């Protein structure tokens, strides 16, 4: 499938010293295409094949054994085998050969070594492959090239997307040369790049388009950096900011402050630096519409439900001037307001005291969401007896001492039309109050904060409310909350009790204050039984995370390097900070119980890690993301979901990229969930807003 998007190159046009970054365009355009054809049928200048050392293995007759290379070698009359032996080409990283051909569909064939192959989520080898192809194209003045991997059949669809992007990026950036200040140079003749065997269709096209767009930003940065100081004065980056705002006026606005304006703002520290310069300073501020809209709406909101006297907000309307007009802006503002309704629901659930928000309340909210958005939502609320029928002994052990019965909540979102590309679940423990049980909380000041222990479920329900309004397609989402209280009474669970989860695993309770993992054990099994592909587990689980990383950094535990990279990318867009913690095999030993399959907690320093291992044991056949949120009084859960995009968008973890996670597990521990809705939804217009990152960092 040919990709219609062309990469506009910035620079490469002339030698005038007065040229500034991106003012001169060479006119060069490179088209990117994803094709699924037999390599021997491709026609063009250079067919480049990335090979690993394993791909270069030969049989007893010194003939290549890799199926793709074997077919090419046969087509070339054994030439590949001969040349690789003569040149001692073994596929090591950095090795390459180019063979000139005649009378065939392609004029040259190039083998480029990938070494032992990429490890984990690393795309460096593929990026280097693209750079090597760019060098070969320059040397031979090629107009069109094709790039393939000798063993691409071993990649899953998601890995193929990442690989295609890395190769394309390496090729595009490798082809680029900054010749603005040279009087003589060779212009690149490369016009098209075909990626063969890495998938076709709209998802690949979207990924390649995104890659090309990223490259334009990289090239702008290169040109600003490479230009001499007599060309790039402070005025130039200011001009570039204004150009960006002009080009993308539907989302960007630029404010440029001169010396006098900076003086008015008393920027003495900044103004002291350029005091001796003949070139006046320029203070640059680029900002996006969505940031302003979300900030205004959420900043105006105040939770005064429990105050007898307060000042009501009188704000009735907000006019955004100079930030664009028309249907695109209106659509974006409507979308922003919808997201904020979900954020505010989460705020109100978290902020309300435990005598107001009992387990019944989140269940009622789920039913309200299903009633309000009945075209896409259905709600199932399970009571104690129904949970007993499902043998949820682990979950039911937690609320045994409470006067308020538990409510197991299941909201299911299905799009109005179109195929379901993935099914995912958002799961949370939903402790509306946690006394600690018989292992009662003893840390001063902690008990009154335990209304926040349902912060994860508030975020999950807030996401559901927003999703009901935005109605993205292609994904089925199950919102699961195991709502209950952890109290103390004669009927409550005791340290030493043994509970049986719905999957048959037995758990020795050696700490009643480690209750969240007990509710989640059954919630996660329930999620698996819905036939979902992936699960995000969001909950306030253990102070061990806060002890290790503080209030503002989240913990990630995963055996999947690729998934780790994707989740970190999501967190960066959302303004969150994540840190990866280990999952050593030796940690399992601390979970052993002498009388049951496992215990529910271990040494404090390993508490979060052991929880992750525990969940892995219970749901290891499904990918899971466990979000650990140690809520604070000013909980950043309330800032969740400034943008709903990644799961259905180009950074998609759980949908369009078609990833298979039957063996990989991810655990995340976070202090806030700003990016939760970002992991579920989609921008209203991908074409206009696909590159927008409009979030408020924690504490904004």
Q: Are 472 and 649 in contact (CB under 8 A)?
A: no
Q: Are 612 and 583 in contact (CB under 8 A)?
A: yes
Q: Are 646 and 692 in contact (CB under 8 A)?
A: no
Q: Are 688 and 587 in contact (CB under 8 A)?
A: no
Bridge partners of 44?
106
- Lookup: tokens for 336: 């922003």
Query: What DSSP element (H or E) covers 498?
Result: strand 498-500
Catalytic residue among 222, 414, 441, 688: 441
- Coil, helix or strand for 518? helix
Closest by CA position to 78, among listed 86, 67, 70, 66: 70
Closest by CA position to 228, among listed 274, 173, 276, 180: 180
Conformation bin of residue 622: beta by default, left when phi > 0, alpha when psi is -120 to 50: beta
- Lookup: tokens for 694: 């409009």
CA distances (Å), origin 11, targets 7, 215, 227: 12, 13, 11
Q: Are 651 and 574 in contact (CB under 8 A)?
A: no
- Lookup: tokens for 107: 């004029």
Q: Which 8-state DSSP code applies to residue 184? A: S
Give the Cα separation of 380 and 476 in Å (integer): 15
**Count helices and strands in the chain by DSSP H and E runs:** 19, 22
What are the residues whose beta carbons fall under 8 Å from the beta carbon of 603, sequence distance 6 or more?
590, 610
Longest dimension (CA), the chain: 91
Give the Cα separation of 342 and 403 in Å (integer): 29
Give the Cα separation of 133 and 144 in Å (integer): 11
Closest by CA position to 69, among listed 47, 86, 87, 88: 47
What pairing do the DSSP bridges indicate for beta strands 534-539 and 422-428?
parallel
The number of angstroms, rounded, from the C-alpha of 571 to the middle of its chain's C-alpha atoms is: 6
Query: What beta strand segments (E) does 337-443 contain?
Result: 377-382, 407-413, 422-428, 431-434
Q: Which 8-state DSSP code applies to residue 604? A: G
CA distances (Å), origin 235, targets 79, 229, 278, 640: 57, 11, 12, 37
Bridge partners of 304?
none
Bridge partners of 286?
254
- Lookup: tokens for 42: 């491709």
Catalytic residue among 332, 517, 534, 650: 517
- Lookup: tokens for 595: 């009388």
- Lookup: tokens for 158: 């998601």
Closest by CA position to 153, among listed 68, 56, 32: 68
Q: Within 10 Å of residue 268's Cβ, how many Cβ atoms?
A: 9
Give the Cα separation of 15 and 289 in Å (integer): 38
CA distances (Å), origin 153, targets 23, 36, 149, 374: 43, 12, 9, 43
- Coil, helix or strand for 37? coil
* 517 belongs to the catalytic site: yes
* 441 belongs to the catalytic site: yes
Q: Are 408 and 381 in contact (CB under 8 A)?
A: yes
Give the Cα separation of 527 and 615 in Å (integer): 13
Q: Are 699 and 490 in contact (CB under 8 A)?
A: no
What amino acid positions are annotated as catalytic residues? 441, 517
């Amino acid at each position: 499938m040919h990709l219609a998007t062309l990469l506009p190159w910035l620079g490469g046009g002339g030698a005038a010293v007065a040229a500034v970054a991106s003012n001169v365009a060479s006119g060069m355009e490179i088209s990117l295409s994803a094709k699924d054809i037999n390599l021997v049928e491709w026609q063009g200048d250079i067919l480049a094949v990335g090979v690993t050392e394993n791909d270069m293995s030969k049989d007893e007759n010194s003939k290549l054994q890799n199926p793709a290379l074997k077919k090419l070698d046969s087509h070339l009359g054994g030439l590949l085998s001969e040349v690789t032996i003569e040149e001692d080409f073994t596929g090591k990283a950095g090795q390459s050969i180019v063979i000139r051909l005649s009378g065939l569909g392609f004029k040259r064939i190039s083998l480029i070594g990938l070494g032992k192959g990429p490890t984990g989520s690393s795309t460096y080898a593929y990026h280097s492959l693209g750079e090597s192809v760019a060098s070969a194209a320059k040397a031979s003045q090629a107009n069109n090239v094709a790039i393939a991997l000798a063993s691409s059949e071993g990649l899953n669809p998601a890995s193929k997307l990442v690989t295609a992007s890395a190769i394309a990026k390496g090729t595009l950036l490798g082809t680029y040369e900054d010749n603005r200040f040279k009087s003589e140079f060779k212009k690149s003749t490369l016009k098209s790049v075909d990626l063969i065997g890495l998938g076709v269709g709209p998802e690949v096209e979207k990924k390649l388009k995104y890659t090309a767009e990223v490259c334009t930003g990289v090239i702008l940065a290169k040109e600003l950096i490479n230009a001499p100081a007599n060309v790039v004065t402070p005025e130039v980056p200011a001009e570039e900011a204004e150009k960006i705002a002009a080009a993308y006026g539907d989302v960007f606005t630029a404010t440029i402050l001169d010396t006098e304006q900076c003086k008015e703002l008393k920027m003495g520290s900044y103004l002291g630096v350029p005091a001796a310069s003949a070139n006046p300073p320029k203070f640059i501020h680029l900002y996006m519409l969505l940031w302003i809209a979300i900030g205004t709406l959420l900043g105006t909101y105040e939770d005064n439900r429990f105050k007898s006297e307060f000042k009501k907000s009188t704000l009735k309307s907000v006019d955004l001037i100079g930030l664009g007009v028309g249907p695109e802006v209106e659509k974006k503002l409507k979308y922003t307001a919808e997201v904020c309704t979900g954020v505010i629901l989460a705020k109100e659930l978290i902020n309300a005291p435990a005598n107001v928000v009992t387990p019944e309340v989140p269940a009622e909210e789920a039913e309200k969401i299903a009633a309000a958005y009945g075209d896409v939502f259905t709600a199932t609320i399970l009571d104690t007896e129904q949970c007993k029928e499902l043998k949820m002994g682990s979950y039911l052990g937690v609320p045994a001492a409470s006067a308020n019965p538990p409510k197991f909540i299941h909201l299911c979102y299905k799009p109005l039309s179109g195929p379901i590309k993935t099914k995912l679940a958002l799961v949370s423990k939903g402790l509306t109050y946690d006394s600690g049980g018989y292992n009662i909380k003893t840390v001063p000041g902690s008990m009154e904060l335990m209304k926040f222990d349902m912060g994860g479920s508030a975020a999950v329900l807030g996401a559901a409310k927003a999703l009901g309004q935005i109605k993205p397609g292609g994904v089925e989402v199950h919102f699961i909350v195991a709502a209950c209280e952890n109290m103390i009474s004669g009927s409550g669970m005791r340290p030493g009790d043994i509970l049986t989860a719905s999957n048959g695993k037995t758990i020795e309770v050696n700490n009643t204050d480690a209750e969240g993992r007990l509710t989640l054990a059954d919630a996660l099994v329930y999620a698996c039984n819905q036939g979902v592909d992936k699960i995000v587990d969001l909950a306030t689980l253990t102070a061990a995370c806060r002890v290790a990383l503080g209030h503002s950094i989240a913990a990630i535990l995963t055996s999947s390097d690729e998934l780790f990279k994707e989740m970190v990318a999501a967190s960066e867009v959302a303004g969150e900070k994540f840190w990866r913690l280990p999952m050593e095999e030796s940690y399992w030993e601390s979970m052993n119980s002498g009388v049951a399959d496992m215990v529910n907690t271990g040494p404090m320093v390993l508490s979060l890690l052991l929880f992750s291992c525990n969940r892995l044991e219970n749901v290891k056949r499904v990918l899971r993301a466990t979000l650990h949120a140690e809520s604070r009084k000013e909980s950043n859960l309330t800032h969740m979901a400034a943008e709903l995009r990644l799961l259905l968008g180009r950074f998609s973890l759980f949908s369009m990229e078609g990833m298979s996670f039957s063996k990989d597990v991810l655990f995340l521990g976070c202090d806030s969930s700003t990016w939760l809705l970002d992991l579920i939804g989609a921008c209203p217009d991908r074409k206009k807003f696909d590159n927008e990152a409009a979030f408020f960092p924690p504490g904004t």
